[in-house]
């Protein structure tokens, strides 16, 4: 491989790094296992390593990128990943499947129908990525649904989203 985009951690990063050809590029998009570029180059045949955070591109460019991606979905160039829903009571089985990487796409835990929630409240925790910040804002603007983002990265990304949504 000449280029690997990664968001894994631990032994999976090492395995991904072994896939990159000498002098190739490895872009770390995750936050859980950021490495030193010099150490990676020394250990993996000159692989050029770069940890990347989407918020680094700046507010204007992030807006351009998001509009471009939406356009690609609208044009049918990109397709959504397959989604497989599981009852939340099978969470252990689902997490096992995910830990063994025996799936493609998104695994969703669904909660059985219960009493109606009158205020439509949604709490989002661990929302460290861009989508984790954007979705609550979208829910809020679509009808007053409450979103709660709990992370320092989310707060920084929320500032970018607010700026982008005004342009």
Whole-number pLDDT of residue 128: 57
Whole-number pLDDT of residue 149: 47
Q: Are residues 123 and 110 in the same domain?
A: no
Whole-number pLDDT of residue 124: 58
Torsion of CA 89, 91, 93, 95, to 10 degrees: 180
Closest C-alpha to 105, from 84, 75, 124: 84
Structural domain range at position 165? 117-167
Q: Are residues 69 and 107 in the same domain?
A: yes
Is the pLDDT assigned to residue 80 strictly greater than 50?
Answer: yes
pLDDT, tens digit, for every residue of 25-64? 999 988 889 999 999 999 999 999 999 887 788 889 988 9
This model's pTM is above 0.85: no
Q: Are residues 89 and 121 in the same domain?
A: no
Whole-number pLDDT of residue 146: 47
Residue 139 class from Cβ within 10 Å (0-12 exposed, 13-18 middle, 19+ buried)?
A: middle
pLDDT, tens digit, for every residue of 16-34? 999 999 899 999 988 889 9
Q: Are residues 87 and 98 in the same domain?
A: yes
Structural domain tally of the chain? 3
Is the pLDDT assigned to residue 84 strictly greater than 60?
Answer: yes
Calpha distance 71→112 (Å, rounded): 35
Q: How sure is the predictor about 144, in pLDDT bands with cuts at 50, 70 and 90?
A: low
């Amino acid at each position: 491989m000449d280029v690997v985009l990664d968001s894994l951690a631990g032994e999976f990063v090492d395995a991904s790094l072994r896939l990159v050809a000498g002098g190739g590029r490895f872009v770390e998009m995750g936050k859980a296992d950021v490495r030193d570029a010099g150490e990676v180059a020394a250990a993996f045949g000159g692989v050029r390593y770069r940890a990347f955070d989407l918020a680094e591109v700046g507010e204007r460019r992030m807006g351009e990128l998001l509009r471009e991606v939406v356009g690609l979905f609208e044009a049918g160039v990109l397709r959504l990943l397959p989604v497989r829903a599981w009852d939340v009571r099978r969470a252990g089985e689902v997490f096992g499947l995910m830990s063994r990487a025996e799936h493609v796409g998104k695994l969703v835990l669904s909660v059985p129908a219960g009493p109606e929630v009158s205020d439509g409240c949604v709490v989002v925790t661990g929302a460290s990525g861009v989508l984790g910040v954007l979705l609550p804002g979208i829910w809020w603007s679509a009808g007053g649904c409450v979103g709660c983002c709990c992370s320092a990265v989310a707060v920084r990304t929320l500032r970018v989203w607010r700026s982008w949504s005004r342009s």
